[in-house]
């Protein structure tokens, strides 16, 4: 299957992408991972991306598209992939359509994770990370530490990222509405969008997604 995963920040796309890719036996292609890999390996696209990020500027679509196309062209993606974080806007969506058409391929589904905005704000604004190990993540309501402000695992200080404040989250949501939501309409016109509620446990959401995708599995 060839799937695009969309949803607002805080919808759990990264977590669901990993579970779904494993269940469907296809590679999970994350924009964040692509950027980190290309920059760390010093690829031409990575060097270009780094120039923009160092200058505090947005990376042009052509660079993001180039990275995604290179990754989708690898042998392990020949029988499908799950895109997470790409396409992020209409220009990228059209580039993806063109790229697939050149290979006589199409998408099978665009899975939309639907979460109420109030829940998105609550999820992200309540998140706390460990300064010693960023992989240790807690939540003031859903997964609170035993001692406030202290990591249960290593004793490190817990903190809130600058872009996790309620004000920052609402800015990110506005950007999502303006830039990313139009691609949902673009794909709806092609009959590709499958929408599921992304509330509940990780396992419940994954099960819901697999059930929704089942009719489209070849």
- Three-state secondary structure along the chain? CEEEEECCCCCCHHHHHHHHHHHHCCCEEEHHHHHHHHHHHCCHHHHHHHHHHHCCCCCCHHHHHHHHHHHHCCHHHCCCEEEECCCCCHHHHHHHHHHHHHCCCCCCEEEEEECCHHHHHHHHHCEEEECCCCCCEEECCCECCCECCECCCCCCEEECCHHHCHHHHHHHHHHHHHHHHHHHHHHHCCCCEEEEECCCCHHHHHHHHHHHHHHHCC
Indicate the number of domains in the chain.
Answer: 1
Assigned domain for 168 exists? no
Catalytic residue among 2, 71, 123, 127: 127
pTM: 0.89
Asked whether residue 11 is assigned to any structural domain, the reply reads yes
Active site (annotated) includes residue 47: no
Catalytic residue among 132, 172, 179, 208: 172
Q: Does a structural domain hold residue 173? A: no
Domain around 189: 2-115+179-216
Determine, yes or no, domain membership for 84.
Answer: yes
Residue among 13, 122, 123, 128 flagged as catalytic:
13
- The answer to whether residue 172 is catalytic is yes
Q: Catalytic annotation on 88?
A: yes
| Residue 132 belongs to some domain of the structure | no
Residue 154 falls inside a structural domain: no
Q: What is the CATH number of the domain that holds 183?
A: 3.40.50.300
Residue 156 within any structural domain of the chain: no
| 128 in active site | no
**Residue 127 annotated in active site:** yes
* pLDDT tens for the chain, residues 1 to 218: 999 999 999 898 988 999 999 999 999 999 989 999 999 999 999 999 999 988 888 899 999 999 999 999 999 999 999 999 999 999 999 999 999 999 999 999 999 999 999 999 999 999 999 999 888 999 999 899 999 999 999 999 999 998 899 999 999 999 999 999 999 999 999 999 999 999 988 899 999 999 999 988 75
């Amino acid at each position: 299957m060839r799937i695009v995963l969309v949803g607002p920040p805080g919808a759990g796309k990264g977590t669901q992408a990993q579970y779904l890719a494993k269940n469907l036996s296809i590679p999970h292609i994350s924009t964040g991972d692509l950027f980190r890999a290309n920059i760390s390996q010093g690829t031409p696209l990575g060097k270009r991306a780094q120039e923009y990020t160092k200058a505090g500027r947005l990376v042009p679509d052509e660079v993001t598209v180039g990275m995604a196309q290179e990754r989708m062209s690898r042998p392990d993606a020949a029988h499908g992939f799950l895109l997470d974080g790409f396409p992020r806007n209409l220009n990228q969506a059209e580039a993806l359509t063109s790229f697939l058409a050149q290979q006589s391929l199409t998408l099978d589904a665009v899975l939309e994770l639907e979460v109420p905005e109030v829940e998105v704000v609550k999820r992200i604004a309540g998140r706390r990370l460990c300064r010693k190990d960023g992989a240790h993540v807690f939540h003031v309501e859903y997964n609170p530490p035993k001692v406030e402000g202290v990591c249960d695992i290593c004793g490190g200080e817990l903190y809130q990222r600058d872009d996790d404040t309620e004000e920052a989250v609402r800015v990110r949501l506005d950007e999502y509405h303006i830039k990313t939501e139009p691609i949902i309409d673009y794909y709806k016109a092609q009959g590709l969008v499958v929408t599921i509620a992304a509330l509940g446990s990780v396992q419940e959401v994954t099960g819901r997604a697999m059930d929704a995708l089942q009719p489209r599995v070849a």
